[in-house]
Amino acid sequence: MPVAVIPFKQKNPKTRLSCVLSQSEREEFAKAMMLDVVATVKDAMCRPVILGTEPFESDDLVQVAMPEKGLSDALNEYLSCALDSVLIIMADIPLADEASVRRVIATQSDLSIVPGRGGGTNVIFIRDPAKFRVDYYGGSFAKHMKIAADAGLSVEVIDSFRLHTDIDEKEDLPELLIHGKGKSRAYLEEKGFTLISDKGRTVVERKQ
């Protein structure tokens, strides 16, 4: 049963959404997305652990404090002492569903990975955590492929738009309203976001 580590920034997250959401709304929205990811990894029979910048109130979630040194170092420290296989899954991919997460953890390779939009890494599954280290930010998908190759680890790239679609910008919000089902989609609707279609891509508008 893999541990699913979910990095989570509680304070002032998702700044690229500032054009449509206030800081407190971004904090609520980021938390709703994280809770959607938590529900999904539980459905896929993983045990969620929140690696958070600040603790938050929760009756049932395992929380680990993220040290000052930053995400990659914190995760690498975690990997070096992990006893089980580890799934690292970002908190901002609320389209993740049980089927897509199960495809990731069902890999026959040493590692499976899902690229995010714009060259990032949204999900990695590491069968033997001690053999791998992560390096996030700045084209991390290519970096992770190279780290795996250098370590002689086999890699499967999982082709999933649900796991590929990270929600960072206003242009990403239509995907959540079209394909989302959980708390984060409900949050956007509650805040007055609706879809507008003309001939090109569907966009969102916020009505107050």
Site string for a second copy, 189-208 (x = CB under 8 A): ------x-xxxxxxx-----
Give me the least distance between CB of 78 and a second copy, in Å please.
22
Task: State which residue, 199 or 207, has the beta carbon closest to a second copy.
Answer: 199
Residue 127 CA to its chain's centroid (Å)? 19
Provide the 3-class DSSP secondary structure of residue 83. coil
Q: Is 159 in the site for a second copy (CB under 8 A)?
A: yes
Residue of 145, 156, 163 lying closest to 112 (CA atoms): 156
Give me the least distance between CB of 201 and a second copy, in Å please.
3
Give me the least distance between CB of 101 and a second copy, in Å please.
11
Number of Cβ atoms within 10 Å of the Cβ of 154 = 13
Give me the least distance between CB of 76 and a second copy, in Å please.
18
Q: Residues near 29 by Cβ (< 8 Å), separated by ≥ 6? A: 14, 17, 21, 184, 187, 188
> Which one of 53-61, 63-71, 94-102, 184-192 is the stretch in contact with a second copy (CB under 8 A)?
94-102
Query: Which residue has tokens 């959980």?
Result: 182
**Residue 65 dihedral angles phi and psi, to the nearest 5°:** -75, 135
* CA 187/CA 116 separation, integer angstroms: 23
* CA 60/CA 170 separation, integer angstroms: 32
Task: State which residue, 54 or 171, has the beta carbon closest to a second copy.
Answer: 171
Q: Which of 42, 47, 102, 117 binds a second copy (CB under 8 A)?
A: 117
Q: Is 184 in the site for a second copy (CB under 8 A)?
A: no
Q: Is 112 in the site for a second copy (CB under 8 A)?
A: no
Q: Which of 142, 149, 151, 186 binds a second copy (CB under 8 A)?
A: 142
Residue 100 CA to its chain's centroid (Å)? 13
Give me the least distance between CB of 29 and a second copy, in Å please.
18
CB 87 within 8 A of CB 104: yes
* Residues lying near a second copy in the complex (CB under 8 A): 16, 97, 99-100, 115, 117-120, 137-139, 141-142, 159-165, 168, 171, 174-175, 178-179, 195, 197-203
